[in-house]
Amino acid sequence: MSDDGDAATGGTGTGTTGGDGDAATDIDPVSLEILRNQLEGVATEMGHVLIRGAYSPNIKERQDCSTAIFDAAGRMVAQAEHIPVHLGAMPDAVDAVLEKDPKPGDVFVVNDPFAGGTHLPDVTLVSAIAPRGEVVGFAVSRAHHADVGGSTPGSMPPGAREIYEEGLRLPAVRLVDGGEPNEAVRDLIRANVRTPDERTADLRAQRAANDRAEERIGELLDEHGSTLLDAFDAVIDYSRERVEAEFAALPDGTYRAQDILEGDGVTDDDVPIAVTVTVDGSALDVDFAGTADQVAGNLNAPLSVAKSAVYFVVRAVTDPDIPPNHGCYEPVSVSAPEGSVLDPEPPAAVVGGNVETSQRVMDVTLAALAAAVPDAVPAGGQGTMNNLIIGDRGGSFTYYETIGGGFGARRDKDGMDGVQVGMTNTLNTPVEALETEYPLRVERYALRPGSGGDGRHRGGLGLDRTVTVETDATVSLLTERRRTAPAGLDGGEDGATGANLVDGDPVPAKVSVDVAAGTTVSIRTPGGGGHGDPDERDPAARARDRCDEKADDDERLGGGERLDGGERLDDDERLDDEERLDDK
């Protein structure tokens, strides 16, 4: 199945936008820039309202949510800088709502991955924007809810074989109908989740964010009149032209890459992800032919997730100042074989596809483009979200977190340490908040020395996060890069693989286990790959790593330190190096 950029325009709009963009020529550049920033400001303010109003730590602390504004034809006009895997897939949710003939005052809720969603925990609210009685656009908020039912707390069962095991499935349905809350839908949701009060509060926060968007768009219509609607077309045209110019500057050609996922949660068999990227003038075609058939486990990903990963790569290799909207993706076509792991048929399990398969799609697409844009592509990052879910089957709590790791080294600098990489962009849960909200105690939260791949520039370091579970609970893990390391680039060494431990014993990358109170769970996340020949690394950079305790034990302790090209420093020389760094 394929999708090109034009498909995101969806069905027929109910307002006045989504035309051919001719009216946009009447907007002068200064006015357009003002309008663009105002629209992006609305999307950003939506995010602030959602985060401040949410009840669950996953949204209010980790900010695992995204917001955007769409025109009446279903084209993204402006987004907040939130979660890549959310934002790139949002158009499919709006398309699903357009099929339901939305009216003023309607708010739709959707999470069905086969009808506009990505995976079930990501619940999307789509509200008609109609400040003057006519729908001129849509406010969209997507947030990861910590539990939506299913066979395990947190709704991310590693061994799931069907989507029915993963939680409550909602096609696009009216949560609010013409301004009147649909209590039956609300009651249905509450009856099928483990933490109903938290879910209700988070949905209220999402609705408040969407309401704020309608309020602000109404104010902008009062200020600018129909020029605001013309600006919807204009900002999309502007972004498309900028991206087309970026593509035209790339060398035409066909670029290929392949990688694997480390089992699907049911078996440990490798799952190949293959891509062919074709640059042809001002267009980019991304074809995932050669990718594995859909799998028995939950690493299947709807095509919308693959598109999200491709769109993220487009943003990564083009000018970051280009406004992110529908226009950026019009010159991009994305296809995957029907029935493959990137375009599965229901009732395939998909919860891991959104969080883990999306990472590998991003990895292979970046790797394919490395030959075309070498200065823009880093070495391999950690390549996983390190999903950790701990909850009580009785419903008293559900904790969910993605854990950062190493960013790949760049051509001109080291990789970042302990950050979210790729398709997620969340914060961590602060230790104080985690221990206050949940029966958990953080025992260790630190960088993993030596986990970044060596090179002219070092890969970023992974993290070590250890928690003690203070009550009987279920622990679920969905992780990758436990046996295949993040790749180095241009002669750089690979980053370290990750590891999962329960009470000090290794457990699989994808597993769910019931544990007793007092059990410790440790997640050691992968490091990023290095970039360039390690023999060319600046000795001062090596000394700095030693001072910052970022080198591994072999480098820091005993037998001297490696300086460059395998040469070692004795203790006196190491002290001199550290003193020189202090002097600087």
Which of 240, 203, 209, 246 shows the shortest CA–CA distance to 77? 240
pLDDT tens digits, 374-404: 999 999 999 999 999 999 999 999 999 999 9
Which of 429, 501, 414 shows the shortest CA–CA distance to 461? 414
pLDDT tens digits, 221-250: 999 999 999 999 999 999 999 999 999 999
Which of 72, 69, 70, 65 shows the shortest CA–CA distance to 49? 65
pLDDT at 122 > cutoff 50: yes
pLDDT at 555: 56
Entry pTM: 0.91
pLDDT at 18: 42
- Each domain of the chain, given as residue ranges in start order, spans 2-238, 378-537
State both tokens at 390: 């701990």
Please, what's the b/e burial string for 283-311 (b: 16 or more CB within 10 A of its CB; e: otherwise)?
bbbbbbeebbebbbbbbbbbbbbbbbbbb
Q: Residue 75: how many CB atoms within 10 A of its CB?
A: 27
Measured between alpha carbons, how far is 437 from 196 in angstroms, rounded to an integer?
16
State both tokens at 30: 């200064």
Measured between alpha carbons, how far is 399 from 40 in angstroms, rounded to an integer?
31
pLDDT at 16: 39
Q: Which helix H or strand E contains 541, and what residues bound it?
A: helix 539-547
Which of 527, 279, 283 shows the shortest CA–CA distance to 404? 527
Q: Which residue matches tokens 């002219």?
A: 456
pLDDT at 408 > cutoff 90: yes
Q: Dump strand ranges (E) for 398-547.
A: 398-402, 440-447, 463-469, 473-478, 499-502, 505-506, 510-515, 519-524
Measured between alpha carbons, how far is 98 from 101 in angstroms, rounded to an integer?
6
Mean pLDDT, the chain, whole residue set? 91
Measured between alpha carbons, how far is 413 from 458 in angstroms, rounded to an integer?
8
Three-state secondary structure call for residue 38: helix
State both tokens at 51: 């985060």
pLDDT at 427 > cutoff 90: yes
pLDDT at 557: 39
**Is residue 486 a contact partner of residue 442, using CB atoms and an 8 Å limit?**
no
The average pLDDT across 261-273 equals 97
List, as one string, the DSSP characters of 328-393: HHTTEEEE--TTBTTBPPTTB--HHIIIIIHHHHHHHHHHHHTTT-TTT-PSP------EEEEE-T
pLDDT at 26: 79
Q: Which helix H or strand E contains 34, and what residues bound it?
A: helix 29-53
Q: Cis check for the bond before 347: say yes or no (omega within 30 of 0).
A: yes
Q: What are the backbone angles phi and psi of residue 471, rounded to the nearest 5°?
A: -150, 160
pLDDT band at 115 (very low <50, low <70, confident <90, very high): very high
pLDDT at 462 > cutoff 70: yes
Which of 162, 506, 485 shows the shortest CA–CA distance to 349? 162
pLDDT at 560 > cutoff 80: no
Helices (H), 76-182: 84-87, 90-98
pLDDT tens digits, 186-219: 999 999 999 999 999 999 999 999 999 999 999 9
State both tokens at 453: 């791949």
Strands 499-502 and 519-524, by their bridges, are antiparallel
The average pLDDT across 284-289 equals 98
pLDDT tens digits, 511-524: 999 999 999 999 99
Q: Which amino acid is at 576?
A: D
State both tokens at 168: 């409550």
The average pLDDT across 298-318 equals 96
pLDDT at 308 > cutoff 70: yes
Helices (H), 140-264: 183-191, 196-224, 227-248
Radius of gyration of the chain (CA): 24
**Is residue 155 a contact partner of residue 113, using CB atoms and an 8 Å limit?**
no
State both tokens at 26: 């009447």
pLDDT at 216: 98
pLDDT tens digits, 472-531: 999 999 999 999 999 999 999 999 999 999 999 999 999 999 999 999 999 999 999 999
